[in-house]
Amino acid sequence: MLKLSRQIISDRIDLSRYKSFSQLGNPFIGPKIKRRFTIIAAISLLALFLPWTQNIQGKGQVTMLRPEQRPSEIQAQIAGQIAQWYKQEGDIVTAGDTIARLQEIKSEYLDPEVIQRTQEQVDAKLDALAGYNAKVEALEELIRTLRTNQGVKAQSLEYKRNAAVAAAFADSTNYHSQKENLEVAQTQAKRYDQLLVQGLKSRTDVEQYRVKLAQQQAKTEQALGKWESSQNKLLDVTLELANNANAFLEKISKAQSDLATAKSNAAAAQGELSQYRNKLASLQVRAGYYYIIAPQSGKLAKVKTQGLGETVKEGTALATIVPTSYELAVELYISPIDMPLIHEGSKVMFQFDGWPAIVFRGWPGTSYGTFDGKVVAVDQVTNDKGKYRVLVAPGEDWPKNLRAGTGARGIALLNNVPIWYEIWRQFNSFPPDYYEPIVAKEKVDKPKIKIK
């Protein structure tokens, strides 16, 4: 003490009460402190080279691994009134069990025999359709018959026409022959007249030739008449042959018109029959919706509509079935900045709500009360909160009493690095090191990109 002040306090202080004053002037204190600082610095330096497991964190909850093992809502497929409950909350149901029954409330379905009446409409329309089809077949057969008859008639008339042509040709030949004979007879008669005048022939001979001339004229006129008659018959046959096509064409056209009408009626009946069948099928399916059936086996829970007589709409949730046999998993939600580091097969360490745990994130092997898992699915889009959902399958020895909905805090384990590297990364705000799990390396079709 310098004792510059006039007030002396050393006489009033007991220095033996303070340890610091007893150390003053001790020559061994300085080296001891230096040695301690050196040991601490060496230990700290060595600790910087200890391994540290990089990780990213996320929160989620326990769920079922497979979609069919998750709780499912039982919904009313149709609007109706609850008439009866066959099960109650807590009951174990098997797939196909009847849980409840609805009764109809819509006016168009209130008739208890609406299905039977619709079936009668279907049967009646089937009979009408059968009648139209029978008429179509009869008209098609009539058209085929008319066309056959047209061909037969045309062939018959063609034969008749050929015969008429031959007869007309024969009569024409006979007429020209008789005409030539008439000219010869006329010439001879003139010669006999001249011979009569000259006195070389008698009047009797001349009169006999005149009789022959008259007979020849009669034969010629008869041949002419027969030829004209044959020509008229040929003309009649020709006209009949031409009218034959027109006559059958009229009948065939009428039959085709009736056929088109019958086919149109049959098509309309088929359309109405399809409508009735559709209505009948809808009614039959709707009748099956009156009974609420369990879609899967499990425990009935959360009965939301309980009172009898309550009216429900289509899609109204009536109850929930929770499967009794399932595999647990965890829905973990990861921020987009950490999403590129998560892949199928990545290892995740969990801490569940209700299970005490001591967690050392950098040394997962020294943690207590944690459970491991493996990533099995990664969503490609974010949810409404901007997080990616990661589904993690359980590892070994998960708690037996763990239930769906339990909160979970996940730590995805990444690469192993020295502590000094992790401190340097944290100070520089660099992302953790990317690593590829073994499962990802086995998939040749996936690109392998490393981000440092």
In the chain, pLDDT over 90 holds for what percent of residues? 6
Q: Round to whole Å and give the CA distance between 161 and 367.
A: 118
Q: What is the mean pLDDT of residues 260-272?
A: 91
Q: Round to whole Å and give the CA distance between 186 and 241.
A: 43
Residue of higher predicted confidence among 4 and 396: 396
- Please give the order of strands across the beta sheet that includes 298-301: 72-75, 317-322, 298-301, 92-93
Q: Round to whole Å and give the CA distance between 132 and 262.
A: 6
Q: Round to whole Å and give the CA distance between 122 and 276.
A: 6
Q: Round to whole Å and give the CA distance between 205 and 323.
A: 141
Mean pLDDT of the chain: 78
Which range has the worst mean pLDDT, 293-307, 344-358, 394-408?
344-358
Residue of higher predicted confidence among 426 and 159: 159
pLDDT confidence of residue 242: 76
Q: Round to whole Å and give the CA distance between 104 and 99.
A: 17
Q: Round to whole Å and give the CA distance between 348 and 372.
A: 6
**Confidence at 402, pLDDT banded by 50, 70, 90:** confident
Q: Domains of the chain (ranges plus CATH)?
A: 48-69+326-442 (2.40.30.170), 72-104+293-322 (2.40.50.100), 114-288 (1.20.1270.60)
Q: What is the mean pLDDT of residues 293-307?
A: 82
**Confidence at 267, pLDDT banded by 50, 70, 90:** very high
| Residue linked to tokens 């009735």 | 276
**Confidence at 369, pLDDT banded by 50, 70, 90:** low
Reduce the DSSP state of residue 341 to 3 states and report it. helix
Residue 36 reports pLDDT greater than 70: yes
Residue of higher predicted confidence among 76 and 421: 76
Query: Which token pair is 352?
Result: 């569940």
Mean pLDDT comparison of 273-282, 367-376, 404-413, highest-scoring range: 273-282
**Confidence at 428, pLDDT banded by 50, 70, 90:** low
Residue 322 reports pLDDT greater than 70: yes
Closest Cα partner for 63 from 331, 400, 362? 331
Residue 231 reports pLDDT greater than 70: yes
Q: What is the mean pLDDT of residues 246-263?
A: 87
Question: CA–CA distance from 248 to each of 152, 234, 254 (Å)?
Answer: 11, 21, 10
Query: Which token pair is 291?
Result: 């009974």
Closest Cα partner for 309 from 447, 102, 451, 120? 102
Which range has the worst mean pLDDT, 9-18, 151-160, 243-252, 301-310?
9-18
Reduce the DSSP state of residue 1 to 3 states and report it. coil
Query: Which token pair is 79?
Result: 């609007």
Closest Cα partner for 96 from 299, 295, 291, 286? 295
Residue of higher predicted confidence among 173 and 275: 275
Closest Cα partner for 345 from 392, 411, 380? 392
Query: Which token pair is 67?
Result: 């979609």
Query: Which token pair is 31?
Result: 């080296």
| Residue 300 host element (H or E) | strand 298-301
Q: What is the mean pLDDT of residues 28-50?
A: 73
Residue of higher predicted confidence among 260 and 200: 260
Q: Round to whole Å and give the CA distance between 365 and 372.
A: 11
Residue 444 reports pLDDT greater than 80: no
Closest Cα partner for 414 from 393, 394, 427, 430? 430
Q: Round to whole Å and give the CA distance between 167 and 227.
A: 8
Q: Round to whole Å and give the CA distance between 60 and 200.
A: 156
Residue of higher predicted confidence among 364 and 112: 112
Q: What is the mean pLDDT of residues 120-147?
A: 90
Q: Round to whole Å and give the CA distance between 265 and 273.
A: 12
- Contact between residue 324 and residue 298 where contact means Cβ atoms under 8 Å apart: yes
Q: What is the mean pLDDT of residues 135-148?
A: 89
Q: How far is CA 409 from the centre of its chain?
A: 41
Q: Say if residue 330 is exposed, middle or buried (CB neighbours under 10 Å; 0-12, 13-18, 19+).
A: buried
Residue of higher predicted confidence among 426 and 278: 278
pLDDT confidence of residue 181: 78
pLDDT confidence of residue 148: 86
pLDDT confidence of residue 443: 43
pLDDT confidence of residue 452: 34
Q: What is the mean pLDDT of residues 379-395?
A: 85
